[in-house]
Chains A and B, each alone.
Chain A
Amino acid sequence: MMLAFPLPRYLTPFLQAPALLALLWLLLALAGPWVAPYLPGEVVSTTVFAPISARHWLGTDYLGRDVLTRLLYGTSSTVLLCAASTVMACGAGAFLGMMAALKRGMTDTLLSRFMDGVISIPSLLSGLVAVATFGSSVPVLVLAMACIYLPGSYRTCRMLALSIVQKDFILAARMRGEKTSYLVVREILPNMAGPVLTDVGLRFIYAVRLLSNLSFLGVGLQPPQTDLGSLTRENLLGLVYGAPAVIAPALAIAFLTVGLNLALDGKGRHQ
């Protein structure tokens, strides 16, 4: 109820292309496994790297499994994993960023220095280190990606919140004696919702790229689970035949990242 009132006005620009696109991918991720024609691990053909046919819309892979099925499962895990880690990263980032902006002083300095330290490590490197230390599993991957993208989100939110906190309407509310929770929910969040949502979109794209990279290097999701990166990797041999098995997942990654990026860009230009 608290959020229901002010948000819609600031969501309207976002409720256009980027949000629709994100929704579409999310739907695909959730429904994919249900509509897939075969089981993901099932060997359904004797030909490997088969071309497009009526039975196998995207051909078969290096073991003779149905590529469409595996692509649907792979898309599902990529999108859901990345979405989960993005939500965690941005949720924590926004919370800490706003706290730092509101409290200033020591809290702000310590948090900011720490985040600067984390952000200076290349994301692929920290991903590899996390996997090497804790092994590769879904929780480790999600948490590692959340930690990797938290500082960036923190920085964006802190900057946005700082510029809002210095406005006189926050001063007026503070002089009234309003609680911090009221300041955050009613006065600060609604004024940064637009840029923060754009930032969430960007972090999601980074996460997709990182997960795909890790999986392509063979340290991401482990078989029998698949994602877009590992699909590309395992079918790499098919490249010489021009098999859809390797082209399809690579294109899916491109559509996911570039499409969302363009949509966000277009929205930015509109504003």
Chain B
Amino acid sequence: MSGHSPPPLITVRNLCLTGRRATGPETTIVSNVSFDVAEGEMLALIGESGSGKTSIALALTGYARTGCRIAQGELRVAGHDVRTMGASELRSFRGKTIAYIAQNAGAAFNPALPLMEQVIEPALTHHILPRKEAVDHAIALFEMMALPTPHTIGARYPHECSGGQLQRIMAAMALITEPEVVIFDEPTTALDVTTQIEVLEAFRVAMRQCGFTGVYVTHDLAIVAQMADRAVVLKNGSVQEEGPTGQILNKPTQSYTRQLVAASQPHLRNHDALPPATPLLDVQNLMVGYGAIMPNGHPRHTIVNSVSLPVRAGETLGIIGESGCGKSTLIRAIAGIQPWSGGNMFFAGEPLPPRIEDRTPQQRQHLQLVAQNADLVLNPALSVGATLRRVLTFYNEDASDAALNRVLDMVRLPAAVAGRYPTQLSGGQKQRVNLARALAARPRLVLCDEITAALDTVVAAAILDLMMELKRELGVSWLFVTHDLHALRSVCDHVAVLYAGHCVEFSTASALNAPPRHPYTRKLESSVPEMHPGWLDGVIRQNGLKPGRVAPIPAHGCCYMPRCPVAVADCAQTPPPTWQAPSGALINCHLQAPDLS
């Protein structure tokens, strides 16, 4: 930078953070981190989980998590020296100068208060605006965030808003005091791709109109490309590389950055030919729901509606759909832990009873579930070895140390992990142990519910590679549920697209890329962030923003009708037929191939 440019708004010099667990020794979390952020700039902090990006972001607000402290270094934010401020100065600094938008807005709001009260609270406590003006300002911010019914949404309670709406309301709350610096900590990680677009766009509009300086913490490089001017790449608490976004993404100089970029580039992992068409698991017209049973024999709320899926022996079947579309419900029904009200299932030619208790020991052994949240899935009181050994002995397999090591080796974990407890493992390691427990039973089909959702790109890529290796080595079939289209494309043979509990498209993974496609598949596809900077603008220009409130799904029409851009008159009255495209894809829509290309 030349000598004429104004001094940076944020200066971090040689920042060191240390922390300790319980009574353990003090360890370094972040060492010698330095960077500047100029006024009006957006800086991205990139790194995998555990790289210290959130710790740095919190340090900017003068906050250290319990057990952690800022050991040394200089932190200057908008003319304040953060480390020398007292408690009351810090409080007003956090209210007026810097604001923090956290990952999970749903958890940050008080469920018992209307949203407006919570949004204007910072302005009132810091005496920045009188109440009436604060409310007007909040409404203006809601409008800017493209929230539906900005004048009345403030009267709602947190549970009456979706995750994406809450995230934008949280941003409005952060902006109400007109701070100079706003920190975004993975604000869209918990959202699905279609919602993510709206939230990202709202943030960008806000940034343009309010002119704040931003720090954006994320592990998603495609989002960095849309949002940030410059980026700092972190690994294990130290800076790997720093530079303009374009250079980091296109011409990374450090090997770690290159690895990150490579891991987020979509690439095909599954090179095997399609196995022959003998279904291992055959799901036919499955109906699953919650709530009281109605006179017609179905539960009050239907979640999965007449879904049919054949899973061939030795293939990977992917299921994709947005949050709440019933993916987990479907998987749980197949696993036998969610009663279903209609349809049939066959496993290896035999009928599969709905309840896990009624299934034969073979069926239980050959059908294994790997659940979404690795933290809840391992018993914290049992060591990894004890957990795995129990599975081996339960199925009368060899449970010697050698056999145990073989199982650990299958998921590429060292034998030493057997003696550890779940709390001593990282997220990726836990997920591998979780997989190992399923594999120890020698299953024929493994049901995976979003097993990579909580992992960062590099670790998730390793798990996907592992899945494909195991498929080749052991001939395991996988049912892979995800909302990540890249992951889906790279590992699956067949793909089912789920919308509101209906299977709207069923095709081979390669046919998914080629027209004709179901309108929802196309929408999903265009919503996946891409690494080039102009992507978000392009999508917004093409689709416009989704109208705030969508009409309810018609009782007898197409489930996608309220959001479908190409709907015709028939769509509201008659259920769409399923027809086969030349590519082999089964599409559930009133329109025909020429209209959907």
Q: Are A175 and B381 in contact (CB under 8 A)?
A: no
- Give chain B interface residues in 349-380, CB to chain A under 8 Å: 356-357, 361, 364, 369, 371, 373, 376-380
B62 proximal to A (CB < 8 A): no
Select which of A174, A178, A191 is within 8 A of B394 by beta carbon: A178
Residues of B within 8 A of A6 (CB): 381-382, 386
A5, A172, A177, A186: which has the most chain B beta carbons within 10 Å? Answer: A172
Could you mark each residue 40-60 of chain A with 1 if its beta carbon is under 8 Å from any beta carbon of chain B, else 0? 000000000000000000000
Select which of A167, A174, A191 is within 8 A of B356 by beta carbon: A174
CA distance A12 to B56 in the complex (A): 34
Q: Are B381 and A172 in contact (CB under 8 A)?
A: no
B78 proximal to A (CB < 8 A): no
Q: Are B376 and A167 in contact (CB under 8 A)?
A: yes
> A168 and B381 in contact (CB under 8 A), knowing A175-B336, A175-B356, A178-B394?
no
A95 proximal to B (CB < 8 A): no
Q: Are B337 and A171 in contact (CB under 8 A)?
A: yes
Q: Are A187 and B371 in contact (CB under 8 A)?
A: no
A255 proximal to B (CB < 8 A): no
Q: Are A169 and B379 in contact (CB under 8 A)?
A: yes
> A175 and B386 in contact (CB under 8 A), knowing A169-B377, A191-B380, A191-B381?
no
Select which of B364, B380, B437 is within 8 A of A177 by beta carbon: B364
Select which of A9, A168, A177 is within 8 A of B371 by beta carbon: A168
Residues of A within 8 A of B337 (CB): 171, 174-175
Q: Are B379 and A5 in contact (CB under 8 A)?
A: no
Q: Are B386 and A169 in contact (CB under 8 A)?
A: no
Could you mark each residue 152-177 of chain A with 1 if its beta carbon is under 8 Å from any beta carbon of chain B, else 0? 00000000000000011101101111
- How close is B477's CB to chain A, nearest CB, in angstroms? 18
B129 proximal to A (CB < 8 A): no
Q: Are B361 and A172 in contact (CB under 8 A)?
A: no
A91 proximal to B (CB < 8 A): no
A190 proximal to B (CB < 8 A): yes
> A176 and B386 in contact (CB under 8 A), knowing A168-B376, A169-B378, A190-B381?
no
Q: Are A168 and B377 in contact (CB under 8 A)?
A: yes
B337, B390, B421, B441: which has the most chain A beta carbons within 10 Å? Answer: B390
- Give chain A interface residues in 179-201, CB to chain B under 8 Å: 186-187, 190-191
> A5 and B376 in contact (CB under 8 A), knowing A171-B337, A175-B335, A175-B369?
no
CA distance A168 to B380 in the complex (A): 12
Could you mark each residue 190-231 of chain A with 1 if its beta carbon is under 8 Å from any beta carbon of chain B, else 0? 110000000000000000000000000000000000000000
CA distance A10 to B383 in the complex (A): 13
CA distance A172 to B369 in the complex (A): 8
Residues of A within 8 A of B454 (CB): none
> A171 and B371 in contact (CB under 8 A), knowing A176-B394, A186-B382, A191-B381?
yes
CA distance A175 to B367 in the complex (A): 10
Q: Are A175 and B364 in contact (CB under 8 A)?
A: yes
Residues of B within 8 A of A190 (CB): 379, 381-382
Interface size (B, Cβ < 8 Å)? 24
Residues of A within 8 A of B441 (CB): 176
Q: Is the interface of A mostly helix, strand, loop or mixed?
A: helix
- How close is B97's CB to chain A, nearest CB, in angstroms? 34
Q: Are B371 and A191 in contact (CB under 8 A)?
A: no
Residues of B within 8 A of A175 (CB): 335-337, 356, 364, 369
Residues of B within 8 A of A5 (CB): 386
Residues of A within 8 A of B391 (CB): 176
CA distance A172 to B377 in the complex (A): 8
Could you mark each residue 69-84 of chain A with 1 if its beta carbon is under 8 Å from any beta carbon of chain B, else 0? 0000000000000000
Nearest neighbor of A190 in chain B, beta-carbon distance:
B381
CA distance A186 to B336 in the complex (A): 23
- How close is B254's CB to chain A, nearest CB, in angstroms? 38
CA distance A154 to B295 in the complex (A): 39
CA distance A9 to B419 in the complex (A): 13
Residues of A within 8 A of B390 (CB): 186
Q: Are B381 and A9 in contact (CB under 8 A)?
A: yes
CA distance A175 to B370 in the complex (A): 11
Nearest neighbor of A169 in chain B, beta-carbon distance:
B379
Residues of B within 8 A of A10 (CB): 381
Nearest neighbor of A10 in chain B, beta-carbon distance:
B381
CA distance A169 to B379 in the complex (A): 6
Q: Are A169 and B376 in contact (CB under 8 A)?
A: yes
CA distance A168 to B433 in the complex (A): 14
Q: Are A177 and B381 in contact (CB under 8 A)?
A: no
> A177 and B361 in contact (CB under 8 A), knowing A171-B337, A191-B379?
yes
CA distance A178 to B373 in the complex (A): 21
Q: Are A172 and B437 in contact (CB under 8 A)?
A: yes
Nearest neighbor of B364 in chain A, beta-carbon distance:
A177
Q: Are A187 and B361 in contact (CB under 8 A)?
A: no
B371, B379, B380, B390: which has the most chain A beta carbons within 10 Å? Answer: B379
Residues of B within 8 A of A168 (CB): 371, 373, 376-377
Residues of B within 8 A of A9 (CB): 381, 421
Could you mark each residue 454-483 of chain B with 1 if its beta carbon is under 8 Å from any beta carbon of chain A, else 0? 000000000000000000000000000000
CA distance A186 to B380 in the complex (A): 11
Which residues of A are at the interface with B, using a C-beta cutoff of 8 A? Answer: 5-6, 9-10, 167-169, 171-172, 174-178, 186-187, 190-191
Which residues of B are at the interface with A, using a C-beta cutoff of 8 A? Answer: 335-337, 356-357, 361, 364, 369, 371, 373, 376-382, 386, 390-391, 394, 421, 437, 441
Sample 15 A-B pairs with CB under 8 A, ordered by A number.
A6-B381, A9-B381, A167-B377, A169-B377, A169-B379, A171-B337, A171-B369, A172-B437, A174-B337, A174-B356, A176-B364, A186-B379, A186-B382, A187-B381, A191-B381
Shortest beta-carbon contacts, A-B, top 5: A190-B381, A168-B377, A169-B379, A168-B376, A168-B371
**Beyond the given A168-B371, A191-B381, could you list 4 further A-B residue pairs with CB under 8 A, ordered by the A residue number?**
A171-B337, A175-B364, A175-B369, A176-B394
